[in-house]
Amino acid sequence: MIVSRLSGIRIACGFALLLWNSCLLASTGRPHEISNIHFENVTQTTVDVVWTTAHPSTSQVLISYTNDFEADRWALPVADPALVTTHRVTVDHLIPFNPKTGDGTYYIYVASVDAKGEMSTAPGPQTQDGKNPSIMMRTAPAAPMGPPSMKFYTSGPDETFPGSDMYFQVQPIIMAGPTGTNLDIHSERGYNNDSDGVVKYLGADKGNPETISVHFSCEWGSSTGDDSEEQQLDRDRNMGYCPNANANVRDLTIRLRTAPNTVPGKYSVAFTLESNGQSQTGTYEFTVLPAPTAPATPQLTPKPIPGLSTWEKQMVDLGKKWCIYRDEQNAAGNFVDNWGWTGDAWFYDGGRVYQNIDTYTAAAGHPNHPAWQHCALTLLDPYANYLVANKGSMAGYSIFPYGMAMNYYRTKADVMRYGIRAVATQGPQRQSCGYVDPGGIRENSYRSNAWMANEMLGARRWPLLQRNIDKVMGNLNMANRGLAGSVHPFMLGIGMETLIHWYDLNLAEGHPDYRVLPVIKETLDAMWRDLWVPKQNILVYERYTLPPNHSMSYSALNNLVSVAYAWYWMQTGDTVERDRGDLLFQHAFDDPDGGYSWSGKQFSQEFEFSFDFVRYRQGLTTSSVVQENNPYTGPYADTNPPISEKVNCDPNHFPGCKAGSIGSTTATIFWGTFKPATTQLVYGKTDSYGQASPVDKAMVFSHVVNLTGLEPGTTYHFRTRSVDRVGNVGSMKDLTFTTLPAAAPAKTP
**Does the CA dihedral 525-527-531-536 come out positive or negative?**
negative
Residue-averaged pLDDT of the chain:
88
* CA–CA distance, 692 with 102 (Å, rounded to integer): 53
pLDDT at 406: 98
* CA–CA distance, 379 with 356 (Å, rounded to integer): 14
Note whether 170 and 152 are within 8 A (CB).
yes
- The amino acid occupying position 6 is L
pLDDT at 523: 97
pLDDT per residue as tens digits for the range 184-235: 777 766 656 788 889 999 988 899 999 999 998 876 667 777 877 777 766 6
Q: Which of 170-174, 666-670, 713-717 has the lowest mean pLDDT?
A: 170-174
Mind giving me the DSSP string for 282-308?
Answer: EEEEEEEPPPP-PPPPP-PPP---TTH
Statement: 308-629 belongs to CATH 1.50.10.10: yes
* CA–CA distance, 53 with 284 (Å, rounded to integer): 40
- The amino acid occupying position 531 is L
pLDDT at 71: 86
**Phi, psi dihedral angles at 81 (to 5 degrees):** -75, -10
- CATH, domain range 149-288: 2.60.40.10
* CA–CA distance, 419 with 413 (Å, rounded to integer): 10
Residues carrying CATH 1.50.10.10, the chain: 308-629
Superfamily of domain 644-738: Immunoglobulins (2.60.40.10)
At the second CATH level, the architecture of 34-138 is Sandwich (2.60)
Question: Residues of the chain with pLDDT > 70: what percent?
Answer: 87
* CA–CA distance, 48 with 19 (Å, rounded to integer): 11
Residues carrying CATH 2.60.40.10, the chain: 34-138, 149-288, 644-738
Residue 84, strand partner residues = 57
DSSP state of 674: E
Average the pLDDT over 253-258 and give the result: 94
* CA–CA distance, 573 with 441 (Å, rounded to integer): 28
CA 642 to chain centre: 30
pLDDT at 661: 80
Please list, in sequence order, all residues whose beta carbon lies within 8 angstroms of the beta carbon of residue 145, skipping any fewer than 6 positions away. Answer: 176
Peptide bond preceding 144 in cis form (omega within 30 of 0): no
Note whether 167 and 156 are within 8 A (CB).
yes
Average the pLDDT over 256-285 and give the result: 91
* CA–CA distance, 447 with 484 (Å, rounded to integer): 20
Question: In 641-730, which residue ranges form alpha helices assigned H by DSSP?
Answer: none
pLDDT at 613: 98
pLDDT at 222: 74
pLDDT at 730: 95
Average the pLDDT over 675-687 and give the result: 96
Note whether 109 and 134 are within 8 A (CB).
yes
For residue 600, the SS3 value is: helix
pLDDT at 519: 98
Residue 567, pLDDT > 50, answer: yes
pLDDT at 28: 82
Question: In what helix (H) or strand (E) does residue 388 lie, and over which residues does it extend?
Answer: helix 369-389
Q: Are strands 252-257 and 165-176 parallel, antiparallel or unpaired?
A: antiparallel
pLDDT band at residue 558 under the 50/70/90 scheme: very high
* CA–CA distance, 80 with 58 (Å, rounded to integer): 6
Higher local confidence (pLDDT), 243 or 25? 243
Diameter of the chain measured on Cα atoms: 106
Mean pLDDT is highest, among 532-546, 547-561, 602-616, for 602-616
CA 534 to chain centre: 27
* CA–CA distance, 485 with 256 (Å, rounded to integer): 24
DSSP state of 221: B
Peptide bond preceding 547 in cis form (omega within 30 of 0): yes
pLDDT per residue as tens digits for the range 29-86: 888 999 999 999 999 999 999 999 999 999 999 999 887 667 899 999 999 999 999 9
pLDDT band at residue 5 under the 50/70/90 scheme: very low
* CA–CA distance, 455 with 462 (Å, rounded to integer): 8
**Phi, psi dihedral angles at 588 (to 5 degrees):** -70, -15
Q: Are strands 135-138 and 159-160 parallel, antiparallel or unpaired?
A: unpaired
Q: Which of 323-327, 414-418, 742-746 has the lowest mean pLDDT?
A: 742-746
pLDDT at 174: 81
